Amino acid sequence: MLLFIEGYPYKLDYEIREGLTVEDALGGVVSFFNKKEEYYRPEYVGYCYSKAAEDMIFFLPKVVLTGELKEDKTTDTIFGAEPTKIIDFEAKDLEKNFKEGERNKYRDFLSELSIWIYRTISVYKKDYNENILEPREIQSKSTGRKIKHNTLLDVIIALREFNRHNQDYFTFIARNMHRGFNKIQWTKTINKSQVIITNGVPVYINPVNKKKVVNFDEELLVIYFSILNYICKVHGFSFDININYDLIPTKVLKSKYIDKGFGTHRLRQIKYKYFSDKALRIWDLCYAFFDREHKITMKVPEDDFLLAKDFERIFEVMIDKLVGGNEKENLPSDLTDQKDGKLVDHMYIDKGLLIKSDLAKELTYYIGDSKYYKREKSGNVKLGETSIYKQYTYARNVIQWNMNLFLEVPGAKKIDGQPQLRDDLTEGYNPIPNFFISAHIPDKEHSKENKFLSFDDDTLNKEENIQLNRQFENRLFDRDTLLLCHYDVNFLFIVSLYGRNNKKRQEEWREVVRKKFRESIQETLNKLYNFYVLQPQAGMNCYSYIKENFHKLNGKIYRPQKDGNYLILALMKKEANDVAKIFGKHTSDEIEKNDVLKQNLESYFHVSEITELKEDLVIEDIPNVGTLEKDTTTHKKTGVLMVMMENYNNKSEKFLPSGSIAVALKDTPESKEIIDNIHNIGYILFHIRKDEGKHLFIVEKNSIVDIDGIEKGIYKTTNKGTKYALVSFNHEFELLSDSLHPQKKKNKNKSTRYDAQYAILNELK
């Protein structure tokens, strides 16, 4: 077999063998050569026959390549070997060209890889007919000379073809073997078996049947069909096995017949039993399966091939089938085939990142893009800027489509079962998981222990190049905050899982990998944000508080359940700027206000920190929980914040025009009373503890803050307060206060006289 690598530049006059150049070997296989070019870059992946080389040609995918800096030039290698050095797979010194890992493994590895690439293209060809050249299978029966084929793929195809064209022969053998089997031998039965006479009729309890003896033809067929069964289960090829034999279990065939060499040993023992051409051919094929150095007779027509022109398209289909299943086909076409011409590679609907809900509107969209790149020497896969920005555009288009759906924008089709990304109460958006999936073959250094060149390693690796596109870094629930993650899978596992075409195994991995995607993105969010559960306090008008403080809460809170009685608060960690260096220059001022915002929220909500986002969010059942719904009653707040203010006329010029004041609260019982009743304060009264000099206003909103939470320009009654009641009131309309008597709210003694107190309106009348 001759090995070529997709996309690698081969010099046309490079001599593979004596008298055979690259141009000679590929002549008649590829469409044409540009005579002006010295090099040819294969655009195919797959399997074909070269008449000029009298040998098979296999084009491997470019993911086997790694970039290496050599003499100031980037040189592509395959496990340290230059691709031109390993073209001839039959070369005796093939292994010495590899520089990485365990050299003796590469021949078997490349042989097995060729099987899975063949299977992958075959499965794709069965389901699609895009960009794939028409395949014609190899005819393995021939009277031609023996050719040494030590790749398993050659042997598998020869086995399959023999089975396909010799079903009548197998049926004939089986009938002859079982003819008369279990037929009663009456002479021996009468002579040897005990008889019982019942109603004059003899009954023989133990009749003597024709005994089955060892049949070497049948043993050969058992080995043959056991091999076919093994290839079917392990490599996904399909065979017609219509004869009911007790086959050798797959595990036994692998551990005993293949690994320990019992297969070749037993076949040599029984070879002398066979004389017919068919039986000898079966023996020859079975022996070649166990001993890859064995020569088998194959006649290969020049036009036999199974080649893919665009393997990147096949890789995209593989990922879509293995990760997305068939769900993409059931999504509205405008989501995947977007109106601006963008085609989304992978999309499915699954549980959101905050809660594990199965309700349609509480789910979210997962958007993925597959990248078929060769690896760098570091083991990483580099993403292009164009791909990154396209991925952001996919998400923006999905968000707008979803908005149009629920806003019933003219022209938007009504479709049930779609997530609702925006929460009407908080106007926050459910985060959309957005990610890249790349696949490559890890080298020895970047493989997990005992997983080097493994086709069973299903590890999902999270790359560290996290991308975050945003206007404000502290607004996770903003529609412009788009987190983009990157994951890498083992290419060998992907092609084997797809090529095996085992629906159950694919479903199992799909469930596992989706769970890993969700958990991994949650881990990233846990590094960037602190999360809190907000449950409304009883008696608080939390609905009005959210609406009145929208500019402070925008993008920071989200209601994950449509009718849920709690919110999620996300505040970016101060140290998040160091996570994967994804922010660049950031505005730390907004992050510095997180503590103040949380303190304000504590006046209206029970605030409990979430240790980390994980599989599901547990909401504690706590007492005195209020509601997030709009208060439709006519009940008015009756609490009064009484502020002692001498020389009101002069001081009021500093706060009356703006209608805002910060009232200092010292560490006293009166201060605690104000804090405890802040939610019920509907009025502010400026007074001097006398009937004259009273000024009463309606409070529009208020909160408890630290001094850092007071915006510049707002008047403070003193700078010595530990906390402040930040009050906004209707300064344009002063209420009549003649009936109020501030002196009714008295201190215990003069030493505890205090600037600010809390009172009930009726208490002052």
- 53-106 pLDDT tens trace: 888 888 999 888 877 645 555 578 888 888 998 898 878 788 888 877 667 778
The whole-chain average pLDDT of the chain stands at: 82
Tokens of 674: 């104000």
Q: Is residue 51 predicted with pLDDT exceeding 90?
A: no
Q: Is residue 137 predicted with pLDDT exceeding 50?
A: no
What share of the chain in percent tops pLDDT 90? 24
> Rounded to whole angstroms, how far apart are CA atoms 169 and 163?
10
Q: Is residue 335 predicted with pLDDT exceeding 70?
A: yes
Is residue 456 assigned to a domain?
no
Does residue 379 come out as left (phi exceeding 0), alpha (psi in the -120 to 50 range) or beta?
A: left
Q: What is the pLDDT of residue 728?
A: 93
> Rounded to whole angstroms, how far apart are CA atoms 742 and 684?
12
pLDDT band at 484 (very low <50, low <70, confident <90, very high): confident
Give the distance, in angstroms, between the CA of residue 391 and the centroid of all CA atoms in the same chain: 15
Q: What residues make up the domain containing 656?
A: 639-764
**Among residues 257, 285, 308, which one ends one of the domains?**
308
pLDDT band at 588 (very low <50, low <70, confident <90, very high): low
Spatial CA neighbour of 524 closest among 559, 486, 553, 561? 486
Dihedral of CA 681/686/690/694: which sign? Answer: negative
Q: What is the pLDDT of residue 664?
A: 92
User: What's the total number of domains in the chain?
Assistant: 4
- The tens digit of pLDDT for each residue in 371-392 reads 887 766 665 667 777 888 888 8
Please indicate, yes or no, whether residues 93 and 13 belong to a single structural domain of this protein.
yes
pLDDT band at 234 (very low <50, low <70, confident <90, very high): confident
Strands 55-60 and 2-5 turn out to be parallel
Q: What is the pLDDT of residue 216?
A: 46
Among 269-273, 311-315, 558-562, top mean pLDDT goes to 558-562
Q: What is the pLDDT of residue 292?
A: 63
Is residue 256 assigned to a domain?
yes
> CATH number of the domain that 654 lies in?
3.10.590
Q: Give, as one character, the DSSP assignment of residue 23.
A: H
Is residue 331 assigned to a domain?
no
Q: Is residue 727 predicted with pLDDT exceeding 90?
A: yes
| Mean pLDDT value of segment 422-439 | 92
Spatial CA neighbour of 23 closest among 1, 43, 50, 60? 50
Rounded to two decimals, the pTM is: 0.73
Report the DSSP beta bridge partners of residue 306.
47
| Mean pLDDT value of segment 555-559 | 95
Q: Is residue 300 predicted with pLDDT exceeding 70?
A: no
| Mean pLDDT value of segment 32-41 | 80
Does residue 528 come out as left (phi exceeding 0), alpha (psi in the -120 to 50 range) or beta?
A: alpha
User: Residue holding tokens 């190899």?
Assistant: 138
Is residue 121 assigned to a domain?
yes
Lowest mean pLDDT among 208-217, 325-334, 570-579, 705-714: 208-217
Please indicate, yes or no, whether residues 196 and 263 belong to a single structural domain of this protein.
yes
**Among residues 251, 275, 308, which one ends one of the domains?**
308
pLDDT band at 494 (very low <50, low <70, confident <90, very high): very high
Q: Is residue 554 predicted with pLDDT exceeding 90?
A: yes
| Mean pLDDT value of segment 18-40 | 82
Please indicate, yes or no, whether residues 237 and 164 belong to a single structural domain of this protein.
yes
| Mean pLDDT value of segment 157-171 | 83
Is residue 84 assigned to a domain?
yes
Q: Is residue 724 predicted with pLDDT exceeding 60?
A: yes
- Cα angle 496-451-347, degrees, rounded to a multiple of 5: 45
Q: Is residue 150 predicted with pLDDT exceeding 80?
A: no
> Rounded to whole angstroms, how far apart are CA atoms 547 and 351?
28
Please indicate, yes or no, whether residues 130 and 154 belong to a single structural domain of this protein.
no
Residues 6+ apart with CB under 8 A from 620: 533, 608
Q: What is the pLDDT of residue 462?
A: 81
Q: Is residue 363 predicted with pLDDT exceeding 90?
A: yes
Q: At residue 734, what are phi and psi to the nearest 5 degrees?
A: -95, 130
Q: Is residue 434 predicted with pLDDT exceeding 80?
A: yes
Q: What is the pLDDT of residue 303?
A: 47
Please indicate, yes or no, whether residues 548 and 677 belong to a single structural domain of this protein.
no
Q: What is the pLDDT of residue 133?
A: 53
- Between 351 and 56, the more confident residue is 351
Q: Is residue 713 predicted with pLDDT exceeding 70?
A: yes
Spatial CA neighbour of 708 closest among 698, 719, 700? 719
Q: What is the pLDDT of residue 74?
A: 58
Please indicate, yes or no, whether residues 7 and 117 belong to a single structural domain of this protein.
yes
3-state secondary structure of 742: helix
Q: Is residue 130 predicted with pLDDT exceeding 60?
A: no
Please indicate, yes or no, whether residues 125 and 165 belong to a single structural domain of this protein.
no
> Rounded to whole angstroms, how far apart are CA atoms 672 and 337?
59
Spatial CA neighbour of 643 closest among 696, 720, 682? 696
Q: What is the pLDDT of residue 143?
A: 40
Whether 540 and 701 have beta carbons less than 8 Å apart is answered as no
- The tens digit of pLDDT for each residue in 594-649 reads 888 888 898 889 999 998 998 888 888 888 888 898 875 545 688 899 998 888 99
Q: What is the pLDDT of residue 350?
A: 94
Tokens of 121: 């293209």
Please indicate, yes or no, whether residues 690 and 584 belong to a single structural domain of this protein.
no
Q: Is residue 497 predicted with pLDDT exceeding 70?
A: yes
CB-count burial class (<10 Å; 0-12, 13-18, 19+) for 621: exposed
Q: Is residue 587 predicted with pLDDT exceeding 60?
A: no
- H/E stretch holding 568 reads strand 567-572
> Rounded to whole angstroms, how far apart are CA atoms 290 and 1?
18
Is residue 162 assigned to a domain?
yes
Q: What is the pLDDT of residue 214?
A: 42
Please indicate, yes or no, whether residues 50 and 116 belong to a single structural domain of this protein.
yes
**Among residues 246, 274, 297, which one ends one of the domains?**
297
Please indicate, yes or no, whether residues 159 and 252 belong to a single structural domain of this protein.
yes
Is residue 432 assigned to a domain?
no
Is residue 439 assigned to a domain?
no
Q: What is the pLDDT of residue 178?
A: 57
Q: What is the pLDDT of residue 138?
A: 40
Please indicate, yes or no, whether residues 31 and 77 belong to a single structural domain of this protein.
yes
Q: What is the pLDDT of residue 240?
A: 78
Please indicate, yes or no, whether residues 188 and 244 belong to a single structural domain of this protein.
yes
